[in-house]
Structure 1
Amino acid sequence: MKKRLTEAQFQAAIQDMDVGQQTLNIARAVLVEGVLQATFVTSLNLTKSAISQAVHRVWVSHEERSMPQGYERVTAVLPAHQAFIVKKWANEAAKKPEPHK
């Protein structure tokens, strides 16, 4: 799944972020405009890792800011049958309307 944001989502994600303008330019181009990350490797002479990190920082900020109140992101290592149940719960939660804030 390609990570994409609307301009409004991008602006909300970068609010109060302490990153340089180049990071913002790269992340906006990739996340909002759909420019391939590889484009910046050659045009800005940066590593794939540096480009990926710029995009990742903004994406993580978006995810943190867009989480509904009362929800919590978790990471766990589980047996397959338990993981199946947790994934099912996650899909059900994603379909529910956002709780009142």
Structure 2
Amino acid sequence: MKKRLTEPEFHEAIKGLDVGSQTLEIARGVLIDGKPQKEFAAALGLSRGAISQAVNRVWAAHGGGILPEGYVRVSAILPEHQAFIVKKWAEDARKKRQHKK
């Protein structure tokens, strides 16, 4: 599962986080825009490890590994039409959690 954040989640995660503008640019591109990390590595001349570390700093600040009570993380290989449905369910659940905040 790809790590993704909404714009409000990203802003909440970076509040008080002591990182540079380049780290924020990288994390925003990967977590919000869904750009591949290797794209940033090539464009900025940085190692993939450095890019991963930038993304993980913001992801960890968000609490990316912590699931809300009553939720479980799943990984599955499905036919395309079923995967589409599951992705819609995940998006609906994310929106419901966001409205509770």
TM-score, structure 2 normalization: 0.65
Whether 1:4 and 2:4 are equivalent positions in the alignment is yes
Superposition pairs for residues 20-99 of structure 1, below 5 Å? 20-63=20-63, 93-94=70-71
| Count, aligned residues | 74
- For each residue in 1:6-44, what CA deviation from the matched residue of structure 2 results, as whole angstroms up to 9, or x when unmatched? 000000000000000000000000000000000011100
Query: Matched residues, percent identical?
Result: 53
- Alignment RMSD (CA, Å): 2.6
Residue identity opposite 2:6 in structure 1: T
Q: 2 CA distance for matches of 1:41 and 1:33?
A: 16
Return closer, same or farther for 1:93/1:60 CA change in 2, 3 Å cut-off.
Answer: same
Which stretches of structure 1, 4 residues or more, deviate above 3 A after TM superposition?
A: none
Distance in 1, Cα, partners of 2:10 & 2:4: 9
Letter aligned with residue 61 of structure 1: A
Specify the SS of the correspondent of 1:94: coil
Letter in 2 for 1:46: L
Deviations 1:34-84 (A, max 9, x none): 0000001110000000000000000000017x776xxxxxxxxxxxxxxxx
In structure 2, what is the Cα distance between the partners aligned to 1:33 and 1:67? 22
The 3 A distance-change label for structure 1 pair 53 and 33 is same
Structure 1 segments unaligned to the other structure (5+ residues): 69-91
What TM-score results when the alignment is normalised by the length of structure 1?
A: 0.65
In structure 2, the gaps of 5 or more residues are 73-96
Write the distance in 1 (CA, Å) between the matches of 2:55 and 2:2: 12
Look at both structures and tell me which one has the larger radius of gyration over its CA atoms.
1
Cα distance in 2 for residues equivalent to 1:32 and 1:67: 19
